[in-house]
A and B are shown apart, each in its own frame.
Chain A
């Protein structure tokens, strides 16, 4: 910065130019990273109605349908995730969270495979048995805080 031959004004211009370049570079980096890593939240109905490129990363939220959980070899499992209107089969290979149970709300991150199976890389269920992802609650529809969705356990009424 202290090169001889530059006037004070020129030096200041260089400094400003450097700052602007730096800030725009940071902004460009940020926005690119942001675009690449945004994951939209889907319910099974959204998923089946929309046209989604196979392999795009997304979050899928819904309820684990009762009686649909099947253990495979090793840690492989399959279950059906539903939002009461539509259902999507989900495959997962790994340890399930503590509160993963049939009839409860979960959020899975992963992608759709060509055969209309959702392959999950992570599955989240919260540390609260009354928990239901708010996105799911909204999608499923709440009536007085109770699920309007008959085949599932009500999350608020004492069982």
Chain B
């Protein structure tokens, strides 16, 4: 009964979303305040419906209702409860349900926090969000219904894919989706601005916190995914330039460009058309990511759908959304032209450069990701583009970006002068040069060019960001007053930029000083790597909740004294007949020691992968700092203060409409 109830709730949600998409639009044409106001009620109703549907599916998973086909495929009676809950989004159908649930959640949030918006703008934003929802409801109901029953009912479920049974992966998809779907809000705002032709500083101020929030979740989602891949796949890498990773990275690059161009639009009223285009682009790339990952075009852990009709549906949906939005843009964007002049050597000019580099990077990644697919689809041959391509494109673009971060902090809006900028940057620049030499020398006693360059850029980014805050603090009479006087948005920006520097330092250290080795070791034999001795002690069988594991014991010594003991495992999941490598890591700020098991040989020896990864934690630490920075920036007082003023304006415009 419960699954049918969920199915019904989902159909109801579709009906409500249809009304939410269409009625406010009619209301806007007819200047009918009641129809406009309906958007808010519809947003609430839609959320309730889809939340009920989602709850029903979760209930089916928790109660192991194998009569539901999707549950039977992804659940198992021995699966721990936490993974039974996360298994809801462990495969295609449920992950789409999660997608629309999150979309409905964002819509609900917009309807609650947008009371301060002019009624027509708010209604049009909700209408655009409703239209996106309609597409996804249709997709689920027509091609991927998670509530379909299975006859006959199997005795036992087929279990969740073992590599998804990990806490990192349990929260990775919701975070990533929060980001992907969150860009739909910026997209909806862009559509509303195009329809009404009103795009001013207030519009940018409404859009900014939403975009920053979406961006911060996407950042966290990508960071979690990278961390998971590192520890779970057993290859010790943190980024593989896999098409699926690229699918999430492209919207991130476009979204990062968007939050910067929104700053220009808010402060200076410039780049309006560009900002709208970026908002469309960021969401289009999110949809493209969904298409790539969910259509079965790509072969990977993430690609569930093998049914070609699903791929066609998403492709068609994408064509409608992107084509429609770009068509609207072509028709209405000329209205958004600005007369003010943009000087290249100014804050906004440098931010424009930031946008150019970010989009060039996104374009490079897009080319490398899509070209093989397009070539294959046209029957022109099969090829792959490996990580060297992406590195060759990405590195030359990230270097100027890091340099710009420091420079833009000291160049004022409107018009910058070289001399004062240099005066403020002298000390950070000198300190960065010193740090670039001292840091690698102090930690590893060597100066590889890549580590020096990485340390230089990292230190430059961090010092320049900190000096900006320092200058603000120093201008106040006391330290406490100074710290309190710095707005949260500035703290957020500083933290995110420091995060970027920390990330760069981590990357350059892993690349320069990381060591890895594949070895075959007999019991009690050792291998030397990066100053550590890894000794394989023995291997035993152990029993997990739903798997059988061969567990190796590896001791790691340095200079004769024991550093740590690692227990890498090879797990066999009888429910799916799969084998999985569980690496064992001794994590630290300065270095990770990492061992994963290969295979056992008849003579009792095992093949092992051993890694020493210096400062690899900084890569994800940087991501976490960006996440926190985004959170601070999105919760700035300015956005809340502006509310009171805008509410009265909104009431005035409502009165005018009525």
Contact = CB atoms under 8 A, between A and B. Distances in A.
Interface string A122-138: 00001111010111000
Interface stretch (A80-88, A92-100, A112-120, A147-155): A92-100
A157 interface: no
A39 B386 contact: yes
Contacts of A7: none
A38 interface: yes
Interface in B553-579: 570, 576-579
Contact of A2 (B345, B388, B579): B345
Contact of B392 (A29, A93, A96, A129): A29
B384 A71 contact: no
B608 A29 contact: no
B415 A127 contact: no
B580 A98 contact: yes
Nearest to A18: B344
Contacts of B386: 37, 39, 109
A40 B383 contact: yes
A129 B383 CA distance: 24
A22 B580 contact: no
Contact of A94 (B343, B382, B518): B518
Contacts of B371: 34
Contacts of B381: 40-41
Interface residues of B, number: 48
Which secondary structure dominates where chain A touches chain B? mixed
A37 to B, nearest CB: 4
B581 interface: yes
Contacts of B318: none
Contacts of A39: 383-386
Nearest to A34: B389
Interface in A1-44: 1-2, 15, 19, 22-23, 26, 29-30, 32-34, 36-41
B345 A1 contact: yes
Nearest to A39: B384
Given A34-B368, A37-B389, A39-B384, A26 B299 contact: no
A114 B349 CA distance: 55
A45 interface: no
Nearest to A33: B392
A30 B579 contact: no
A67 interface: no
Contacts of B44: none
Nearest to B234: A98
Given A26-B360, A40-B383, A95-B607, A15 B518 contact: no
A75 interface: yes
B559 to A, nearest CB: 27
Interface string B262-274: 0000000000000
- Which of A38, A41, A93 is packed against the most chain B CB atoms within 10 Å? A38
B571 to A, nearest CB: 10
B579 A1 contact: no
B315 interface: no
Interface string B352-393: 000010001001100110010000000001111110110011
B599 interface: yes
A53 interface: no
Nearest to A29: B396
A29 B364 CA distance: 10
B345 A128 contact: no
A75 B607 contact: yes
Contact of A75 (B356, B363, B519, B577): B519
B347 interface: no
A144 to B, nearest CB: 15
Given A26-B360, A41-B383, A95-B599, 20 more contacts: A2-B343, A2-B415, A22-B356, A26-B396, A29-B396, A33-B388, A34-B371, A36-B389, A38-B383, A39-B386, A40-B381, A74-B519, A75-B519, A96-B599, A96-B607, A98-B234, A98-B581, A127-B580, A128-B578, A133-B299
Interchain residue pairs A-B with the least CB separation, the first 10: A95-B598, A33-B392, A37-B389, A41-B382, A94-B518, A40-B383, A37-B388, A1-B345, A95-B518, A98-B579
